[in-house]
């Protein structure tokens, strides 16, 4: 599953609730990075009534959007590690293509919480990420010949661990994460299609031959809703107990 290089996402959310993932020593450095002034061109964009953020933009610049990446690549407007926060408010839209799978699960949830925080009252987020269901269905067969299964073992593990992947999502998991973080109106979209004009035709990642009922990438849109603290606490407890606690420090 070829992919463009991932944006660097090494730093951790300041308010991560996962046990053992706080780092008070890094707080002053993080604060300095968040306090960095924006370039004049970016200030012009965020002073417009409709600020839109393109997260993990890489070299795929979107005109009219604030293109954010952890690397100073051509076309990037703001160099920042978004896992330590977003220096924005009242944002109209957030788009992140093939980004969230590169975040450790607790950091991904932290990113969704931060996206919810910076969006305006009717703000929308659109995410695309490899589809775990497609990976599993297309990469491995229990009844295959030994030679095929050996190759499949490599390919399946490559999908999970290659390209700096941290976590592969299915609709059920991503939908619950969004809902727990306070998003509503969750809807699954086809590549390049949207009810919202600013999301139409926005994807840049290559496509594969797949079927509408089993796309290789899941694309989701959701709008900012009411906070769901109890649901979020339950969700974070589950991912901590069933997944994060088993990861090495």
- Which residues, 6 or more positions from 74, have their beta carbon under 8 angstroms from its beta carbon? 59, 61
The pLDDT of residue 47 is 56
Q: Which long-range contacts (CB under 8 A, 24 or more apart) does 35-42 make?
A: 36/80, 38/78, 38/87, 39/77, 39/78, 41/77, 42/66, 42/77, 42/78
Handedness of CA 113, 238, 105, 13 (dihedral sign): positive
Q: What is the dihedral of CA 40, 54, 79, 50, to 10 degrees?
A: 30
Tokens of 158: 């490559």
How far CA 131 is from CA of 18, 33, 98, in Å, comes to 25, 33, 11
Per-residue pLDDT of the chain (249 residues), as tens digits, is 444 444 443 333 333 333 333 333 333 343 334 445 566 556 555 556 689 999 999 999 999 999 999 999 999 999 999 999 999 999 999 999 999 999 999 999 999 999 999 999 999 999 999 999 999 998 889 999 999 999 999 999 999 999 999 999 999 999 999 999 999 999 999 999 999 999 999 998 877 767 778 899 999 999 999 999 999 999 999 999 999 999 986
**Which is nearest to 41 in space by CA: 61, 66, 20?**
66
Do the beta carbons of residue 69 and residue 57 sit within 8 Å?
Answer: yes
CB 14 within 8 A of CB 30: yes
- Structural domains in the chain? 24-131+166-246 (3.40.50.150)
The pLDDT score that the predictor gives to residue 17 is: 33
- Name 247's Cβ contacts closer than 8 Å, sequence gap at least 6: 104
């Amino acid at each position: 599953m070829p992919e463009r290089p991932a944006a660097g996402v090494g730093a951790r959310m300041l308010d991560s609730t996962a046990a053992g993932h706080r780092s008070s020593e890094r707080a002053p450095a993080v604060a300095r990075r968040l306090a960095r002034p924006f370039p004049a061109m970016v200030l012009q964009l965020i002073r417009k009534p409709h600020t839109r953020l393109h997260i993990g933009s890489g070299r795929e610049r979107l005109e009219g959007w604030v293109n954010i990446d952890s690397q100073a690549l051509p076309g990037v407007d703001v160099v920042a590690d978004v896992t330590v926060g977003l220096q924005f408010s009242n944002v109209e839209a957030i788009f992140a293509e093939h980004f969230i799978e590169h975040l450790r699960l607790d950091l991904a949830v932290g990113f969704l919480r931060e996206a919810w925080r910076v969006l305006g009252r009717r703000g929308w987020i659109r995410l695309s990420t490899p589809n775990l269901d497609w990976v599993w269905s297309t990469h491995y067969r229990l009844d295959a010949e030994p030679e095929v299964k050996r190759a499949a073992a490599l390919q399946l593990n490559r999908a999970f661990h290659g390209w700096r992947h941290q976590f592969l999502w299915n609709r059920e998991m991503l939908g619950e994460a969004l809902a727990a973080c306070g998003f509503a109106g969750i809807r699954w979209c086809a590549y390049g299609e949207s009810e919202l004009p600013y999301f139409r035709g926005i994807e840049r990642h290559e496509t594969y031959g797949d079927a509408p009922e089993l796309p290789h990438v899941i694309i989701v849109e959701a709008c900012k809703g009411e906070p769901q603290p109890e649901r979020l606490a339950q969700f974070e407890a589950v991912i901590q107990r069933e997944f994060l606690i088993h990861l090495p420090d």
